[in-house]
Copies of this chain bind each other. A is one copy, B any other.
């Protein structure tokens, strides 16, 4: 069975497994005070071009979004997000569980446009009753988005400018950040993100790790008591080494970027194949996620040999499905898929 279902079907990159094994017998302090956590954070700061950044290692994406958003927002404030944002759709209400509203704006290709953000804010402050409403306290974007699309550097700049004007932190969910940075279709670097956002996280779980995300604060300090907030949200592992060793490995010799690059190459090949065979794309993407419209009969036929993800019904006879590549995708599997198309 071929699997293009998602980017978290496989274990960890072999180098990570190797390092976990190699360091397994060492006796190390807990709660993130071990040398691997310290080294990982140092390497991440360097990769971001920001020696002054503060880095925290957490376990998963929903948890990370919950922690950062809750820590940034004050009472009666909400987080502005495209309506397709992961925090609005697939986190089982994690944000609301912290007492905060997700303030949604209709997405444009999965993105929050600076125009619509601007209009939203102007309308809000224009409203005489806005003191009775939830204040927009920060902005959440994902990059790549849930639709596999990317912000351009100009788009990020515009969002950043608006956020600074309104004194709202700009926070970027980088669950698949590597796949965004290594796309041929982007002009955005990790340094750009560090400069334009106030905080973001570099996704490990979907980019080669068993688990783990790295929160980076650049233009704002971590909110007060951030260590305790991480702890009370269950993101502080007693064996912090599990996260430290993984991120230390990912940020040694550019491993994170190389394996991301591989996923993009595999996705590009798949996209070419779909295009050549005349398949319709639901949305144009330049990252590791590909959204294709399939005839239902073709879909059923493919299912016998390939695992992929149902996205949505298009009409009575057609369905939108998603194929995802990852750091672990084998070129031979991409070729086998092509034969089945």
On chain B, the residues within 8 Å of A74 by CB distance are 223-225
Stretch at the interface among A154-162, A236-244, A271-279: A236-244
- Report how far A89 CA is from B210 CA in the complex, Å: 31
Q: Is the CB of B9 within 8 A of A25?
A: no
Q: Is A49 an interface residue (CB 8 A)?
A: no
Q: Is the CB of B96 within 8 A of A78?
A: yes
Distance (Å) between the CB of A21 and the closest chain B CB? 6
Distance (Å) between the CB of A308 and the closest chain B CB? 12
Q: Is A290 an interface residue (CB 8 A)?
A: no
Q: Is the CB of B17 within 8 A of A228?
A: no
With both beta carbons as reference points, the residue of chain B lying nearest to A31 in the complex is identified as B132
Q: Is the CB of A11 within 8 A of B20?
A: yes
Q: Is A339 an interface residue (CB 8 A)?
A: no
Contact of A60 among B1, B25, B225, B237 (CB under 8 A): B237
Q: Is the CB of A96 within 8 A of B134?
A: yes
Contact of A59 among B26, B227, B234 (CB under 8 A): B234
- Report how far A29 CA is from B205 CA in the complex, Å: 14
On chain B, the residues within 8 Å of A129 by CB distance are 90
Q: Is the CB of A132 within 8 A of B24?
A: no
Mark interface residues in A27-48 (1 if CB within 8 Å of B CB, else 0). 1111100000000000000000
Contact of A14 among B24, B66, B101 (CB under 8 A): B24
Q: List 24 A-B contacts (CB under 8 A).
A: A6-B30, A9-B28, A12-B24, A27-B307, A59-B237, A62-B232, A62-B234, A64-B234, A74-B223, A75-B223, A75-B228, A75-B232, A76-B92, A76-B93, A89-B133, A90-B129, A91-B231, A92-B231, A96-B99, A205-B237, A211-B239, A211-B242, A233-B234, A234-B235
Q: Is the CB of B234 within 8 A of A92?
A: no
On chain B, the residues within 8 Å of A93 by CB distance are 76-78, 99-101, 134, 228, 232
On chain B, the residues within 8 Å of A285 by CB distance are none
Q: A14-B24, A135-B225 are in contact. Are A205 and B96 (CB under 8 A)?
A: no
Q: Is A304 an interface residue (CB 8 A)?
A: no
Distance (Å) between the CB of A37 and the closest chain B CB? 14
Give the interface centre of A62, A98, A234 by most chain B CB atoms within 10 Å.
Answer: A234
- Report how far A211 CA is from B236 CA in the complex, Å: 11
